[in-house]
Amino acid sequence: MNPLTSPLLTDLYQLNMLQAYLEDGKTDVAVFEIFVRKLPPRRSFLMAAGLEQALQFLENLRFSPEEVDWLAGTRRFDKSLLDRLSDFRFTGDVHAMPEGRIFFANEPILRITAPMPQAQLVETRLINLLHFQTLIASKAARIVLAAPSKLLVDFGLRRAHGAEAGLLAARASYIAGFAGTATMLAEHEFGIPICGTMAHSFVEAFDSESAAFESFARSRPQNLTLLIDTYDSEAAARKVVVLAPCLSAMGVKIGAVRLDSGDLIPLARSVRRILDDGGLSHVTIFASGGLDEDSVAEIVHAGAPIDGFGVGTSLTTSSDTPALDCAYKLQEYAGRPRRKRSSGKATWPGRKQVWRSYATSDGRMAGDLLSIDSASHPGEQLIEPIMKDGRRIGPAPTLSEIRARAASELGRLPQPLRELEPGMTYPVQIAEALVTLAAEVDNHLAQSERVQP
Amino acid sequence: MNPLTSPLLTDLYQLNMLQAYLEDGKTDVAVFEIFVRKLPPRRSFLMAAGLEQALQFLENLRFSPEEVDWLAGTRRFDKSLLDRLSDFRFTGDVHAMPEGRIFFANEPILRITAPMPQAQLVETRLINLLHFQTLIASKAARIVLAAPSKLLVDFGLRRAHGAEAGLLAARASYIAGFAGTATMLAEHEFGIPICGTMAHSFVEAFDSESAAFESFARSRPQNLTLLIDTYDSEAAARKVVVLAPCLSAMGVKIGAVRLDSGDLIPLARSVRRILDDGGLSHVTIFASGGLDEDSVAEIVHAGAPIDGFGVGTSLTTSSDTPALDCAYKLQEYAGRPRRKRSSGKATWPGRKQVWRSYATSDGRMAGDLLSIDSASHPGEQLIEPIMKDGRRIGPAPTLSEIRARAASELGRLPQPLRELEPGMTYPVQIAEALVTLAAEVDNHLAQSERVQP
């Protein structure tokens, strides 16, 4: 069973509930929405990502004979459930914010409308897919805002949480504005530009640093980047200057040097001076090594001569906030709105829509209104129909289109939200209609339970 | 291409270096070691995990015809490299600490001894696999120490970083002492016990909470756990008391109730009282909802009547420390020790071993010595031969054996290291032989470079 596609990559309770729903005839239409309850401390906005993988999951959802047999063998489930799994498909509707959209707390980014057993079963993997890419795109957007006009590359596969995380982090960061990734498979899977330099081990395998540089240059004459911090970065920069004419004679033009340690601001200045004095002003400086949006912003602010950054661990683990407080909640069942009232986790009921207004002065986002889907309000509707009866309504946007949308969204952020320390809370208003609906749901529940609230 | 097994799930620079190594005849034996440079702030020890998946990766490493064709199509690589990929296999040796071992900063947990091209190519995925499970086992161990004798279950799949992270987090936390997981596929893949309850959506789909409980009980009469916090936990506990005789008449015994929100300490006491007063003292209380080792410790310390915990996001993302500062570094090439001297990232050269001493009084760990592999020291050697010429030396330990080793290791931790706030730094001594070797490597390098240090 392939964990990336198996419907058994889910919580046991989903199958338990599936059986109970089927036995009880609870197969009416259910509406679930995914949203983030609260923005993390240092996030003033989030960027939606992962919808494409979520849709692929829904389109391809099926139980293989092997999976049904294995479930039967666990003796946990009745024949009434097992018999229905072979034909189990997702036949519902999906409404969602397109990838690259900026959104805020309580705003649904995806709505599932489907018979209850289907809508319930998909919960775990839908969250798993949407949460992660949204998390990474939102982190990457901060780095992009901190380093405008710098070349940003994802270096994070090795410390990403497993294979899928590494691959999807490359996608999510590319959407948010990174120029590319070091992860080869991301080119194959998504067509993302990849780039790569050399490791310290390569330099160490040679008797001298110069010999390593020359060997690498012979083998990789295109886009040559030399890693210069294995022993002493300034000494290595001087070796690069000495080597350059010989390499030039071989037809190799050095593209960049990479610094991966040390105090990057003074070091980059010193290396820049050495390169410039040696006639290598065309050679760019690329930095990596434990960078995040704060250190990148500091370097940019100091005006250090660094042209690009490889960002790894902090990006692919969203290290300061490795998870979002997101949920997939039942909003309606059998035509009646529902809500949870758990302490501190109450939700707004019903099918919802977000209307966004823009300032007439500069076209930037001015405020959102969260209301019931059937209401009518001025502004741009952020949630769009994506899938009908289990099939996509239109063709999937290309990654370039998604990336362009993300760039446009970042361009329309109010200035205080573009800072690393949130300077304001973006206004999201709850419409009166939604407040009224919540009260109605509570009243109905109190009557059903014959308990006075 | 399956990202879980493809050798292209790697950094581009590995293939670039591979070609340069082959062109330059740099195919002598290289020795690389994986270690953690520094323990994160709130970790006083780490637990090794992920070796089994790392070994499977090495055993199955090969380029499919499709992968070679795709690489050829990128026009990045010469025929000299492409022609050799079809037969590319890992034929090296592996030495490692077995899974479940406790280790500290600078201690290698895995050593690869193989021809340079092989040893280099495996870097990215080896780190990716070992880092993640070690990270999660180390986090899980803290939760286990914080809640001795409580039932601990991994609930984290939905917010884990992708599919593989969710699945491997179930494995790593089970190794460290969790009782099981909610992730179904973890039973299929690893034989880990799984358990599950019900979601709020199930309760909300019914007109009343009691109707939902009764329906679920009919469908799932075994190990019945009822989720009682959808609307009002105390009211729901009273409904459970009212329902119990009817369920009992149906042959259903309620096993547990689950709380997923609210102020858990007073709430659990109140619910316990309601259950006890209703003759349900056998019904246990299970809690979940944003828990981590600190909140679990607080609950345990307060003596709240909670019998088990579902821990999700904080566990599967290791939320306070979502990455370890680990590295895969060249230690020796062509028979000569090597080291990196980058600022703040210098490494100890050569093949290393760790010797551990235990206190004679109580058998607990007393201190480690890091030295060169060929040295002779008293104590237990932690790094063992695992694979020879690409084949495993012995059968893989079972997950139960690994779990037993982890439990034994936790039992031998000095008491201050068992606290959530590290009360001491465990002594790891660097042997004189290693210091001398490092100086020799530096001297040799200085001579090769003809630069005075």
* DSSP states of B28-43: SEEEEEEEESS--TT-
Which pair of tokens denotes residue B350? Answer: 């050569």
Structure letter (DSSP) for residue B215: H
Q: If 0-12 CB within 10 Å is exposed, 13-18 middle and 19+ buried, where does residue A242 land?
A: exposed
Structure confidence by residue, pLDDT tens digits, B278-335: 999 999 999 999 999 999 999 999 999 999 999 999 999 999 999 999 999 999 999 9
Q: Which residues contact A21 (CB under 8 A, 6 or more apart)?
A: A27, A116, A117, A120, B202, B205
Beta-sheet pairing, A151-154 with A180-181: parallel
Global pTM?
A: 0.97
Burial (CB count within 10 angstroms: exposed 0-12, middle 13-18, buried 19+), residue B99: buried
Residue A320 distance to chain B (closest CA, Å): 8
Q: What is the pLDDT of residues B71-105, one digit of tens each?
A: 999 999 999 899 999 999 999 999 999 999 999 99
Phi, psi (deg, nearest 5) at residue A372: -75, 145
8 A C-beta contact, residue B180 and residue B192: yes
The dihedral built from the CA positions of residue B74, B77, B80 and B84, taken in this order, carries a sign that is negative
Tell me whether residues B201 and A319 touch, CB distance under 8 A: no
The two three-digit tokens of residue B376, written as one number = 């002779």
Half-sphere exposure of B285 (CA within 13 A, CB side): 27
Question: pLDDT: is B453 or B368 the higher one?
Answer: B368
Dig out the tokens for B382 from the structure.
Answer: 């932690």
Q: Are B94 and B57 in contact (CB under 8 A)?
A: no
Within 8 A by CB and 6+ apart from A87, the residues are none
Question: Mind listing the pLDDT tens digit of every residue in chain A (453 residues)?
Answer: 899 999 999 999 999 999 999 999 999 999 999 999 999 999 999 999 999 999 999 999 999 999 999 999 999 999 989 999 999 999 999 999 999 999 999 999 999 999 999 999 999 999 999 999 999 999 999 999 999 999 999 999 999 999 999 999 999 999 999 999 999 999 999 999 999 889 999 999 998 999 999 999 999 898 899 999 999 999 999 999 999 999 999 999 999 999 999 999 999 999 999 999 999 999 999 999 999 999 999 999 999 999 999 999 999 999 999 999 999 999 999 999 998 887 777 789 999 999 999 999 999 999 999 999 999 999 999 999 999 999 999 999 999 999 999 999 999 999 999 999 987 999 999 999 999 999 999 898 888 765 433
Residues 6 or more apart in contact with residue B68 via CB below 8 angstroms: B82, B85, B86
Report yes or no: B194 at the A interface, CB cutoff 8 Å.
Answer: yes
Q: Can you give the pLDDT at residue A448? A: 76
Predicted pLDDT at A450: 58
Under 8 Å between Cβ of A365 and A412: yes
- Backbone phi, psi, residue A91, to 5°: -120, 20
Which residues 364-423 on chain A approach chain B with CB closer than 8 angstroms?
none
Q: Is B154 exposed, middle or buried (CB count within 10 Å of its CB: 0-12, 13-18, 19+)? A: buried
Structural domains in chain A plus CATH codes: 12-135+323-413 (3.20.140.10), 137-316 (3.20.20.70)
Question: B195 — contact with chain A (CB < 8 Å)?
Answer: yes
The partner residue sitting opposite B313, judged by closest CB among A123, A196, A323, is A323
Contact between B166 and A9 using a beta-carbon 8 Å cutoff: yes
Please, where are the H alpha helices in B180-277?
184-190, 200-204, 209-219, 233-249, 264-277
Sequence-distant (≥ 6) Cβ neighbours of residue A388 within 8 angstroms:
A93
User: What is the model's pLDDT at position B273?
Assistant: 98
Could you tell me if A20 lies within 8 Å of chain B, comparing CB atoms? yes
Q: Which B positions 351-370 lie with beta carbon below 8 A of chain A?
A: none
pLDDT at A342: 77
Residue A16 burial (CB < 10 Å; 0-12/13-18/19+)? Answer: buried
Q: State phi, psi for A254 to the nearest 5 degrees.
A: -75, 130
pLDDT of residue B444: 87
Chain A residues whose CB is inside 8 A of the B131 CB are 158-159
Interface of A with B in 154-193 (CB under 8 A): 155, 157-168, 182-185, 187-189
| First-last CA distance in chain B | 48
Measured CA to CA, the distance from residue B408 to residue B431 in angstroms comes to 27
Gap from B392 CA to chain A (nearest CA, Å): 23
Of B164, B289, B313, the CB nearest to A164: B164
Mean pLDDT of the B118-142 span: 98
Place of tokens 């290595």: A236
* Contact status of B333 with chain A (Cβ, < 8 Å): yes
**Which one of B22, B316, B342 makes the best mutation probe of the A interface by having the most chain A beta carbons within 10 Å?**
B342
- For residue A314, the distance in angstroms to the closest alpha carbon of chain B comes to 8
Q: Is A144 helix (H, G, I), strand (E, B) or coil?
A: helix
Contact criterion met (CB < 8 Å) for A158 and B131: yes
